[in-house]
Homo-oligomer: A and B are copies of this chain.
């Protein structure tokens, strides 16, 4: 949302990666720089050639990292793609904090629209999601990426509960994971499944639908959700 630096993420609900890649062991160091260069080459390769066309040779040529290093550290194309996704998840993105649940959900949904408006970000994000169809490791990495992303988004629900916008307690726990997924889902579905256009009005509608469902108690656990919608990291 801040619009600075490169935007190389697969998700709608994400911001640009900070240049120094905080969260890696050696922020700003040679390892982090190499990894970022490899990630950039992977994303441009996915965008240009698609998953089936991507080769270790392509990544070597476009990252300036020697092929033997790539094989040693990443194994193969699947490992390269999975690590590019892991790296995308290591940014400092935080969910919107507008002061109201309604505002936060709307901002979250609108981020999907803005993320996929820029041609480059849209193409590389789309290429990552496409890789999930061709590689089990990419699919697993996508799932982990989104699970972590949406786990961050649960702060939106926690704040809403603290403000008294949603009732929660020992017997009325909110299924925060389902709620924060509800606003972006119709937009991601249109973008990547039904191939229909999205815009800000549609984002606002999706956010309003999620809010109405939350207020009606749809995301209150034990009512209609059950435990099946727990986030993976909680269910384990």
Q: Select A216's contact among B129, B194, B216, beta carbons within 8 Å.
A: B216
The digit string for A160-187, where 1 denotes a CB below 8 A from any CB of B, is 0000000000000001001001101110
Q: Is the CB–CB distance between B218 and A199 below 8 Å?
A: no
Q: Is the CB–CB distance between A50 and B134 below 8 Å?
A: yes
Residues of A113-127 at the interface with B, using a CB-CB cut-off of 8 Å, are: 126-127
Q: How many copies does the complex hold?
A: 2
Q: Is the CB–CB distance between B189 and A185 below 8 Å?
A: yes
Is A130 in contact with chain B by the CB < 8 A criterion? yes
Residues of A within 8 A of B (CB): 50, 52-53, 126-127, 129-130, 132-134, 139-140, 142-143, 146-147, 150, 175, 178, 181-182, 184-186, 188-190, 192-196, 199, 201-202, 204-205, 208-210, 212-213, 215-216, 218-219, 224-226, 228-229, 232
Q: Is the CB–CB distance between A140 and B195 below 8 Å?
A: yes
Which residue of the partner chain B has the closest CB to A106? B224
Q: Is the CB–CB distance between B201 and A182 below 8 Å?
A: no
Closest 8 CB pairs of A and B: A209-B213, A212-B216, A130-B133, A146-B194, A143-B195, A52-B52, A185-B189, A201-B226
Given contacts A193-B193, A212-B218, 8 further A-B contacts (CB under 8 A): A50-B52, A133-B133, A175-B205, A186-B189, A188-B189, A199-B228, A209-B209, A209-B213
